[in-house]
Amino acid sequence: MRPMTRTVLAALVALLASSAAMAEVTVTYTKPDDYTDLARGAYDRDRILKQFSDYFATLDKKLPPGQTLKIDVLDIDLAGRMYPRRNGEDIRIMNGGADWPRMHLRYTLEQNGQVLRSGDDNIANMNYQQSHTSYFDSDPLRYEKQMVDDWFNKAIVPKVAAK
């Protein structure tokens, strides 16, 4: 075998071996049509769920290799309230009153097929407009993402470090 072929083959084997040990976060949405507050139109609803899925996928960087976090989202209530408009484009108004973001989720943290931790949590951020967020103001889900970050850092990360 030529040296270049061996090098490429060795790199592929190393890549496959490392990907098997990588951390993973999977998310499912149970009955999203019944969620408390999600866009009415299918296109907007799918777009929001895709944004959440992309965001949840980034949490794997905070998990040790070989761990899997499975999240089942049971309900979402986005920050603010939707107000219908004539042109069909609803507008979301955030007053800072009783319109804080909420999420109901079930999760299981596993390593090598063994459950390390599981739970059923209702998370919320009542002070969402007064809290610091690490997301840009242009991110429409900045308050929800910060809420999940806070939950993840409090409920999952310390438990991971203790294992």
CATH number reported for the structural domain that contains residue 47 in this entry: 3.40.50
Work out the pLDDT band at 159, boundaries 50, 70, 90: low
> Cα dist. 151→5, 59, 123 in Å?
47, 12, 7
| The token pair that represents 145 in the structure block | 């993402």
Q: Distance between CA 34 and CA 76 in Å, rounded?
A: 9
What is the number of residues in the chain? 163
What is the pLDDT at residue 122? Answer: 97
Q: Are 144 and 79 spatial neighbours (Cβ–Cβ below 8 Å)?
A: yes
Residue type, 154: K
Domain-embedded: residue 1:
no
What's the whole-number average pLDDT of the chain? 81
Strand order in 102-111's β-sheet?
Answer: 24-29, 67-77, 102-111, 114-124
> Is pLDDT above 50 for 12?
no
pTM of the model: 0.77
* pLDDT (mean) for 84-91: 70
Residue 123 has pLDDT above 80, yes or no: yes
pLDDT digits (tens, 9 = 90+) for 25-68: 999 999 998 898 877 778 888 999 999 999 999 999 999 999 99
pLDDT digits (tens, 9 = 90+) for 67-86: 999 999 999 998 877 777 77
pLDDT attached to residue 136: 82
* Predicted pLDDT of residue 2: 55
Residue 52 lies in a domain: yes
Domain count, the chain: 1
Q: Is 26 inside any structural domain?
A: yes
Show the tokens assigned to 57: 């996928």
Residue 88 has pLDDT above 70, yes or no: no
Question: Could you tell me if 94 and 80 are in contact, meaning their C-beta atoms sit under 8 angstroms apart?
Answer: yes
2 within some domain: no
Q: Is there a domain that residue 106 lies in?
A: yes
> Span 99-119, mean pLDDT?
93
Q: Are 53 and 28 in contact (CB under 8 A)?
A: no
Q: Tell me if 43 is assigned to some domain.
A: yes
The helix/strand/coil state of 135 is coil
CA–CA distance from 61 to each of 21, 69, 118, 153 (Å)? Answer: 13, 11, 19, 12
Yes or no: say if 73 and 112 are a contact pair by the CB < 8 Å rule: no
Q: Quote the CA–CA distance of 160 and 106 in Å, as a whole number.
A: 17
Q: Note the pLDDT of residue 134.
A: 80
Domain hosting 47: range is 22-162
